[in-house]
């Protein structure tokens, strides 16, 4: 049962990856091609997911949207991981006052709901795909910083790091070789679980019109685009919505499995 779930999640994400890197293999229509005569067609043989108000093929738009929608979430997670590692590890070895300043800033960020922080950042930076990625990064990064700092402090005084120091491995070298990789390991586990919520947050911002602009295909944006005609043409919103839901669930399922494996190995 569990293995079957993992397989389905893995296969689905492989499909999303294929859509992101080679969309033309999965969709024959042009996602930007409008055709007013074929507007609001229900799913059929010619248009498997139907068409939208401008007659664009929904399947093509979902497939071509994969790179942008999943990509923003992935990029934001990767940025949060790297930033969290750098800031957290530095804070872990910084003098007391610098550590205190960094941690209070982090605490302030943590005090607000993540989505609210992301909204504020986009409001300041302006809409656009790259800005959404930055906003989601800033919203997610405090947790990474906190974890990286704690792990750095723990590992710095760990027995195996001390053992290396007694062997006369230099301070800097011991830090880079034994402390940083250990911290990175813990952060990766957090990231595998964070990817899902990052994708969701990015889609949420796009839904509000703060992400990529029309006519670019993006799942959150498409969800918003179909919302006024939901009664007549459910397919315009439902398919991109399904794509988001399945991606988030699959990423979370795989992330949890990965975490269980890594924690099992470390124990």
Partner 1 sequence: MSAVDVQGLRIAFGGRIVVDDVSFTVEPGECVAIVGESGAGKSLTARALLGLLPDGASATTERLLVAGTDAGRLGESGWRSLRGRRIALVSQDALAALDPLRRIGREVAEPMEIHGLRADGGRVLALLESVSMPDAERRVRSRPHELSGGLRQRALIASALAADPEVIVADEATTALDATVQARILELLRGIADSGRAVVFISHDFAAVRRVADRVIVMQAGRIVEQGAVDEVMRSPRSDHARELVAASSPVPRPASPSSGAPLLRAVDLSKSFDRPAVVGASFVLRAGSTLGVVGESGSGKTTLARMIVGVQHPDSGALEWVSPQRVQLVHQNPLGAFDPRWTIGRSLREALQAAGAPRALRTKRSLELLAEVGLDGSLARRRPHELSGGQRQRAAIARSLAADPQVLVLDEPVSALDPTVRQRVLGLLSSLQRERALTMVFVSHDLAVIAAVSDDVLVMQDGVVVEQGAVADVFADPRHSFTRELLAAGR
Q: Does 171 bind partner 1 (CB under 8 A)?
A: no
166 contacts: CB under 8 Å, gap ≥ 6: none
For residue 39 the two structure tokens come to: 């507007």
Q: d(Cα 57, Cα 38) in Å, to the nearest integer?
A: 9
Q: Does 177 bind partner 1 (CB under 8 A)?
A: yes
Q: CB nearer to partner 1: give 61 or 178.
A: 178
CB of 165 to partner 1, least distance (A): 8
Q: Does 23 bind partner 1 (CB under 8 A)?
A: no
Q: Does 187 bind partner 1 (CB under 8 A)?
A: no
List binders of partner 1 among 151-170 (CB under 8 A).
158-160, 162-169
Strand, coil or helix: 51: strand
Binding segment toward partner 1, per CB under 8 A, in 48-56, 75-83, 179-187, 238-246: 179-187
Q: CB nearer to partner 1: give 36 or 157.
A: 157
Q: Does 263 bind partner 1 (CB under 8 A)?
A: no
For residue 226, report the phi and psi dihedrals to the nearest 5 degrees: -95, 0
Q: Does 176 bind partner 1 (CB under 8 A)?
A: no
Q: Does 113 bind partner 1 (CB under 8 A)?
A: no
CB of 74 to partner 1, least distance (A): 25
Binding segment toward partner 1, per CB under 8 A, in 33-41, 42-50, 174-182, 212-220: 174-182
Binders of partner 1: how many residues, by CB under 8 A?
18
């Amino acid at each position: 049962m569990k293995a079957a779930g993992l397989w389905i999640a893995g296969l689905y994400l492989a499909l999303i990856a294929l859509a992101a890197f080679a969309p033309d293999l999965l969709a024959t229509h042009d996602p930007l091609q409008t055709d007013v005569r074929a507007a609001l067609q229900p799913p059929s043989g010619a248009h498997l997911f139907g068409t939208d108000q401008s007659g664009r093929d929904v399947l093509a738009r979902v497939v071509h949207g994969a790179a942008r929608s999943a990509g923003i979430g992935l990029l934001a997670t990767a940025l949060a991981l790297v930033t969290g590692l750098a800031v957290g590890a530095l804070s872990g070895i910084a003098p007391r006052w610098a550590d205190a300043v960094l941690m209070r800033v982090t605490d302030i960020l943590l005090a607000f709901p993540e989505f609210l922080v992301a909204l504020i950042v986009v409001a300041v930076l302006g809409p656009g795909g790259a800005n959404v990625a930055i906003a989601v990064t800033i919203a997610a990064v405090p947790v990474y910083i906190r974890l990286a700092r704690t792990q750095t402090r723990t590992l710095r005084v760990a027995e195996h790091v001390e053992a290396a120091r007694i062997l006369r491995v230099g301070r800097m070298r011991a830090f880079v070789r034994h402390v940083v990789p250990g911290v990175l390991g813990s952060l990766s586990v957090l990231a595998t679980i964070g990817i899902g919520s990052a994708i969701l947050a990015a889609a949420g911002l796009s839904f509000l019109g703060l992400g990529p602009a029309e006519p670019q295909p993006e799942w959150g944006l498409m969800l918003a685009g179909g919302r006024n005609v939901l009664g007549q043409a459910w397919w315009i919103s439902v398919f991109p919505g399904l794509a988001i839901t399945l991606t988030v669930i699959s990423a979370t399922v795989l992330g949890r499995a990965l975490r269980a494996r890594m924690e099992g190995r470390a124990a």
